[in-house]
Amino acid sequence: MEKVKVGITVGDINGIGLEVILKALHHEGIFDICTPVIYGSTKVVSYHKNILPEFRIPFQGVASAERLSANKINVVNCWSESVNITLGRATEDGGKYAWRSLDCAVEDLKKGLIDVLVTAPINKQAMEMAGFQWPGHTEYLTEKLGAGQSLMFMISDDVRVGLVTNHVPLRKVPEKIHKDRVIEKVRLMEESLRIDFGIERPLIAVLGLNPHAGEQGRIGNEEVEVIRPAVVELKNNNYMVMGPFPADGFFGSAQHQRYHGIMAMYHDQGLIPFKLLTFGQGCNFTAGLPYVRTSPDHGTGYDLTGKGEANEGSMLKAIFTAIDIFRNRQKYKELEAAKATPVISTLPDEPEPGSEDYEEELPAEE
């Protein structure tokens, strides 16, 4: 099987991004399944590699992803100037070069020079210092890759949680929960579960917004007026959807184990239980994009930077998940193409009446 070209952004150069990248790429057999391409600079990669002297990883700097080495870490030099690295701090340079790394990788993704994109963590404050105008990776990539909608989808082997709203202040969440939005997000989840994860008939649970899922309007009316009508419409259109469920009881009673996907209404409602159940073994996936993008489920980890203590499990999961989804999409396209191909009969053509090969059937003798 052809190896997948995995583009990896460095994220905040003052955080643990490059540490977990290098640790993940140090795992045995990684070069058997992918060709890793880091977007940054060899100087910055060398700086972080020197913090981890036990990791002897071969890497090479390249000017472009057009010429990659299959058995080394390729580092595309997105800048040549020296960079001021200030470990454990949010700085303008940290945001500036994280953004430049992301821009370069996205351009190569659109050109087909890499197959998938894995993004290391960024810091919102540092990105704002650099002039970055999007709330996060998800919103930036949705716009730059030309997707009308996308879904922030947290993935582990056992739990998959999507969000109706992403990086929104809690006081503004209710005004963004409306029927069409819930329907759109569930449709994106269902499509992703089928195409990206190979689940033929996904079963999806939808959580309520309010405590106890509103108690029939006694504690908020979003469930009665918005969420339940969305679920009913989806059911009427042959989607296997249940809810809305009270979020606390849903996870507390382990109902999450019965569903292929869970739709949460806002960030912490979905991510707190997800991280409690899977931290270090899950990753973030942006469903609905024309390209595959994943990232680890943690932040820049400023408190761990430079200590060599960061756990690479989630970065490794992000890389493996991106590869799996890329291959699943290829299989899906092949199956759909096979379905669309007309079946050509292998039986010989019937001879025309009057031709030499035509034999008229005679009536049976009485």
Where are the chain's structural domains?
A: 1-147+289-336, 148-288
Q: What is the mean pLDDT of the chain?
A: 91
Q: Are 75 and 60 in contact (CB under 8 A)?
A: yes
CATH code of the region 1-147+289-336: 3.40.718.10
CB within 8 A of 298, min separation 6: which ones? 121, 279, 280, 314
Q: Is the pLDDT of residue 364 over 50?
A: no
Tell me the C-alpha distance between 29 and 314, whole Å. 17
Query: At the fourth CATH level, which superfamily is domain 148-288?
Result: Isopropylmalate Dehydrogenase (3.40.718.10)
Tell me the C-alpha distance between 120 and 296, whole Å. 7
At residue 345, the pLDDT reads 53
Select from 34, 100, 29, 105 the least CA-distant residue to 69: 34
Name the band, by pLDDT with cuts 50, 70 and 90, for residue 208: very high
Tell me the C-alpha distance between 274 and 270, whole Å. 6
At residue 181, the pLDDT reads 97
At residue 344, the pLDDT reads 61
Residue with token string 């370069």:
104
pLDDT digits (tens, 9 = 90+) for 122-147: 999 999 999 999 999 999 999 999 99
Higher pLDDT, residue 179 or 363? 179
Q: Are 129 and 91 in contact (CB under 8 A)?
A: yes
pLDDT digits (tens, 9 = 90+) for 220-262: 999 999 999 999 999 999 999 999 999 999 998 999 999 999 9
* Cα-Cα-Cα-Cα dihedral sign, residues 21, 160, 190, 258: positive
At residue 351, the pLDDT reads 53
1-147+289-336 and 148-288 have identical folds = yes
Name the band, by pLDDT with cuts 50, 70 and 90, for residue 51: confident
